Amino acid sequence: MKKIFGWLSVVLVLALAVFIYFQFYFVFGEGVKSGQLNFAVKKGNLFKTYEGKLIQEGFRTGTGAAGTTGISSNEFVFSVEDDSIFNILELNSGKVFDLHYKEYHGRLPWRGNTVFIVDQIISMRDAQGLH
């Protein structure tokens, strides 16, 4: 009986470890998003994290609160782990960025409020000509 309980415990611990890895540490996707930086902030109650939002060019149709369709801008809400990347974003709000990000299945409170983690600034330019 003790042997069965021991093996069952090992299997459960391994299953939990695999779940945690795939939920929080496995990179589900990665890519590049471009847009005008709306804001970059440091916020949080217990864990202070870096958060930001890009406003992407173009419009998408969305569903309003009352069930009506309307036009709204494309937004990319993201988190940043690296202090140096955040400092560049914070000082250049309103400029157009190309940001490389990694996407995870789940979020960790010390990593950020989103599953999208920006890990690289590919390019930055002035927002001339954007309306």
Q: What is the pLDDT of residue 99?
A: 98
On whether residue 58 sits in a domain, the answer given is: yes
- Number of domains the chain contains: 1
Instruction: Report whether 50 contacts 42 (CB < 8 A).
Output: yes
Closest CA to 40 of 106, 103, 112, 102: 112
On whether residue 70 sits in a domain, the answer given is: yes
Supply the mean pLDDT for the chain: 90
Q: What is the pLDDT of residue 49?
A: 97
Domain of 121 in residue numbering reads as 29-125
Q: Which helix (H) or strand (E) holds 128?
A: none
Beta strands in the chain (DSSP E): 27-43, 49-63, 69-80, 96-104, 116-125
Q: How confident is the model at residue 80 (pLDDT cuts 50, 70, 90)?
A: very high
- The pLDDT of residue 129 is above 70: no
Looking at residue 66, what DSSP letter applies? T
Rounded Cα distance between 6 and 2, Å, is 6
Entry pTM? 0.81
Beta strands in 64-95 (DSSP E): 69-80
* Mean of pLDDT values over 97-102: 98
Q: What is the pLDDT of residue 5?
A: 87
Please give the structure tokens belonging to residue 41: 């902030």
60-69 confidence digits (pLDDT tens): 665 555 555 5
Q: What is the pLDDT of residue 90?
A: 95
On whether residue 130 sits in a domain, the answer given is: no
- The pLDDT of residue 3 is above 90: no
4-56 confidence digits (pLDDT tens): 888 999 999 999 999 999 999 999 999 999 999 999 999 999 999 999 999 99
Q: Would you call 82 helix, strand, or coil by DSSP? A: coil
Q: What is the pLDDT of residue 68?
A: 54
Q: Which CATH number does the domain housing residue 33 bear?
A: 2.40.50
- Report the alpha-carbon angle 107-42-72, nearest 5: 70
